[in-house]
Amino acid sequence: MNILLLGSGGREHAIAVKIAQSVLCDRLFIAPGNAGTAQVGENVKLDASDFESVGRFVIEHRVEMLVVGPEAPLVAGIADYFAETASLKHVMVVGPSKQGAMLEGSKDYAKAFMMRHNIPTARYQTFTRETLKEGEAFLDTLQAPYVLKADGLAAGKGVLIESDLATAKAHLGEMLGGKFGEASANVVIEEYLSGIELSVFVLTDGSHYLLLPSAKDYKRIGEGDTGLNTGGMGSVSPVPFADKEFMKKVEDRIVKPTVRGLREEKIDYCGFIFVGLMNVAGDPYVIEYNVRMGDPETESVFPRIKSDVVELFVNAARGTLDRCTLSIDPRTAACVMMVAGGYPEGYEKGKVIDLGVDAPDVQVFHCGTKKGENDELLTNGGRVICTTALAATLPEALLKSYDRAATIRWDGKYNRRDIGQDLLKLMI
Ligand code: AMP
Ligand code: GLY
């Protein structure tokens, strides 16, 4: 079949590589893609928010499966558009309905869903401009640090964690006053959870699910998790402390009730659920849901999937995921992200990239790259390229990934040198 994948990051390159390996895939289109996806499929210029153009392309190119990488088109309802359009409803869509995507699109909706289904998460309340005073009073009842979250999508910037009560109250006022536009018209205030974060990924057809490998990402720009937040500076899969016992808790207390909740509430959901978790003294709590794969978690999770992903997607779309089993590479994957100098603040694009020397068991995924006029490889974003190595142990995987990353060069390249180090310390 012909398949269209929406997105342009490292996540999409990693997904594209797996789709292209499937015997079920004839032509793979990626819109808009990057220089890496162009090596495994055909990039097409399409705006994912323009559903009509996407639909026209799908019909013209006899696409039978649409795989949606990022959240924005899902939150905007692309799955519903396909389901409700006569000429498109035969297309299998990997990505939830607009209502399912609310799990990411609205923090208040996600929290209320968790409450309804007894899923462990931080205690919370939601406030509006009209209930600012009540919000301040709620902050008084909490211990520092204070966690304030814009309800809607805010490009990953909508969460503020503040240790001073007066400043937290001031932030609440600013957020409700429009600091993040419409996204912070409602603000969720929640209890701070202290522990180690990890991500768990699920593929579901809305009734059944497969648990994909766990991963940990590194969000801050600076080593030792300091400095500004980024899209993610590296990832590791699996997470060593997510052992059988912990993962059983995650499955019983979080994954099963989440999928059961979707089914009970008749929410159409074929796609990924990315559960951001905090391990609080051995017990998992949900920090957030995302309705897509993570980036750069995908770059360490997908290389470990040995099953045919298109076969999984077909069964997810048909509601027969219970017929599938997952085959996972037991090795550890370590992904090191290389970014443009200055990122996540201002940075330049268009630097010529030297891709360095290939190494066994190391894959290079493109994030923000494009081909120049003379076919040279150019930087085209903040997160530019990453290396993922597979090895028997985490230290070996890190070493291989870093060795490969060191051979990649461009003017201003930066990467953290401490990916995975916190996990190594925990293992000793
Ligand atoms: P989110 O956008 O919901 O992932 O939040 C961004 C980051 O804020 C998370 O990755 C956590 O590191 C942190 N965070 C969010 N909620 C909490 C919480 N209740 N307790 C502690 N940290 C949190
Ligand atoms: N790496 C975090 C995310 O994809 O949201």
The residue whose CA has the least distance to atom 15 of ligand 1 is 287
Alpha-carbon distance of 149 to 173, in angstroms, equals: 12
pLDDT at 157 > cutoff 90: no
Residue 428 pLDDT class (50, 70, 90 cuts): confident
pLDDT at 299 > cutoff 80: yes
For the segment 39-54, the average pLDDT, to the nearest whole number, is 97
pLDDT at 307 > cutoff 90: yes
Q: Of all residues in the chain, what percent carry a pLDDT higher than 70? A: 100
The residue whose CA has the least distance to atom 16 of ligand 1 is 287
Q: Which ligand is nearest to the CA of 299?
A: 2
Q: pLDDT per residue over 51-62, tens digit each? A: 999 999 999 999
184 with 150: CB under 8 angstroms?
yes
List of residues 6+ apart from 33 with CB closer than 8 A: 5, 7, 8, 12, 16, 41, 43, 44
- Testing ligand 2's pocket by substitution, the residue of 68, 221, 274, 293 carrying the most ligand atoms inside 8 A of its CB is 274
Q: Strand ranges (DSSP E) for 291-404?
A: 332-339, 362-366, 369-371, 377-379, 383-391
The residue whose CA has the least distance to atom 3 of ligand 2 is 294
Is the Cβ atom of 295 under 6 angstroms away from ligand 2? yes
Residues of the chain with CATH 3.40.50.20: 2-94
Closest among 3, 73, 65, 68 to 40, alpha carbons compared:
3
Scan for tokens 């699910």, then name that residue: 209
CATH of 125-190, one of 3.30.1490.20, 3.40.640.10, 3.30.450.20, 3.30.43.10: 3.30.1490.20
Q: Does domain 196-427 have CATH number 1.20.1440.130?
A: no
Question: Residue 322: what pLDDT?
Answer: 97
Residues of the chain with CATH 3.30.470.20: 196-427
Alpha-carbon distance of 413 to 428, in angstroms, equals: 32
User: 77 or 426: which carries more pLDDT confidence?
Assistant: 77
For the segment 350-364, the average pLDDT, to the nearest whole number, is 97
Could you tell me the CA-to-CA distances from 340 to 345, 349, 350, 378, 388 in Å, in that order? 10, 8, 10, 11, 18
Alpha helices in 304-393 (DSSP H): 309-318
- Testing ligand 1's pocket by substitution, the residue of 151, 157, 159 carrying the most ligand atoms inside 8 A of its CB is 159
Question: Residue 348: what pLDDT?
Answer: 96
Whole-number Å distance, alpha carbon 294 to ligand 2 midpoint, is: 4
Question: Residue 123: what pLDDT?
Answer: 95
Question: Residue 402: what pLDDT?
Answer: 98
pLDDT at 156 > cutoff 80: no
Question: Residue 155: what pLDDT?
Answer: 80
Average pLDDT, the chain: 96
316 with 271: CB under 8 angstroms?
yes
Q: pLDDT per residue over 116-127, tens digit each? A: 999 999 999 999
Whole-number Å distance, alpha carbon 417 to ligand 1 midpoint, is: 23
Q: Of all residues in the chain, what percent carry a pLDDT higher than 90? A: 97
Question: Residue 310: what pLDDT?
Answer: 98
Alpha-carbon distance of 71 to 54, in angstroms, equals: 16
Is the Cβ atom of 192 under 6 angstroms away from ligand 1? yes
Q: pLDDT per residue over 224-273, tens digit each? A: 999 998 999 999 999 999 999 999 999 999 999 999 999 999 999 999 99
For the segment 389-393, the average pLDDT, to the nearest whole number, is 98
- Which CATH code is given to the segment(s) 2-94? 3.40.50.20
pLDDT at 209 > cutoff 90: yes
